[in-house]
Amino acid sequence: MSSTTKALSLLTHFSASQPEIGLSQLCRMAGRDKATTYRHLQALETAGFVEQNPATKHYRLGPALMQLAQLREATVPRKDGAKPVLSALADATGETAHVTVLSGQTLYGLCACEAPHNSIRAVIDINTFPLHATASGLCAVAFGPQDLFDVAVASLSGFTAATPTTQTDLAALVSSIRDTGFGRANQTYEAEIQSLSAPVFDHSGHLAGAVAVASVATRFTPDLEQLIKSELVTAARNITRNWGGTIPPGIEAAWARSLTHSNALERTS
């Protein structure tokens, strides 16, 4: 990993729940020594990517990122095509809906919408999504570039007791996702959260990211699962259309099989 990459990777530790981070804490989070971290922060500060709060001396994201974010959205519009769909998805399911975008080998959070129906709900407060442990990440591995599987295998960190930590376990999950068309994280990233996702595509014809719904595990019932899957299909189609893409026929067929199978189980139960 180059020095530039290491410096820029420090930005991924900032989030809505942790907008300011002190030097010592950032060292612990990044797993680096203080001298190296400070040198990287100085370079980021010079470029305007971070700044120091004069009162606390903690670091926060800098103004240069706002300009880059606005330019990115103006030239590669993503949020505008996702936000209204997310709002409808959250309202229909009563759960937290969010969208991720794939760039290279990294899956980034784009935007999220929390439904007001429940006082206790999933909160999306991460910037990059682990490929092997989140519904969106697993969806990317299943339907994205082939090398993403190797990338995921290279970093099989255990977040909960249910996280897949072997290549065999990950391969089984990915195979199931390809069969159903839906990514699933059954308490694999957070012990209290179940998530489902569906892939979205853009004008290039390649996977552009995923749309997902995260639910508190205690209220994740078969009926809610069926509702979320049905609404995810609609959301994935709408976002894909807004981004200039089309859903591949194979995924449409997988969704149809999955939803039909679920309906058949409900009628016989």
With a cut of 50, say whether residue 264 has pLDDT above it: no
Question: 170-191: per-residue pLDDT in tens?
Answer: 999 999 999 999 999 999 999 9
Confidence at 77, pLDDT banded by 50, 70, 90: confident
Mutual angle of helices 135-143 and 167-180, in 10-degree steps: 80
Confidence at 74, pLDDT banded by 50, 70, 90: confident
Question: Per-residue pLDDT averaged across 240-261, rounded?
Answer: 94
pLDDT at 262: 60
Confidence at 263, pLDDT banded by 50, 70, 90: low
109: nearest Cα among 14, 202, 219, 240: 14
Question: 138-166: per-residue pLDDT in tens?
Answer: 999 999 999 999 999 999 999 999 999 99
With a cut of 70, say whether residue 267 has pLDDT above it: no
Q: Which domains are present in the chain? A: 3-67 (1.10.10.10), 77-268 (3.30.450.40)
pLDDT at 230: 96
Question: Per-residue pLDDT averaged across 38-47, rounded?
Answer: 92
pLDDT at 23: 93
pLDDT at 179: 96
Beta-bridge partner residues of 103: 106
Question: 92-121: per-residue pLDDT in tens?
Answer: 999 999 999 999 899 999 999 998 777 777
With a cut of 90, say whether residue 254 has pLDDT above it: yes
- Give the residue, 75 or 109, on which the prediction is more confident: 109
With a cut of 70, say whether residue 83 has pLDDT above it: yes
pLDDT at 1: 60
Please list, in sequence order, all residues whose beta carbon lies within 8 angstroms of the beta carbon of residue 81, skipping any fewer than 6 positions away: 239, 242, 243
Confidence at 266, pLDDT banded by 50, 70, 90: very low
Q: Give this prediction's pTM.
A: 0.77
User: What Å distances lie between residue 101 and 33, 106, 165, CA to CA?
Assistant: 31, 8, 24
With a cut of 90, say whether residue 76 has pLDDT above it: no
**Separation CA 38–CA 42 (nearest Å):** 6
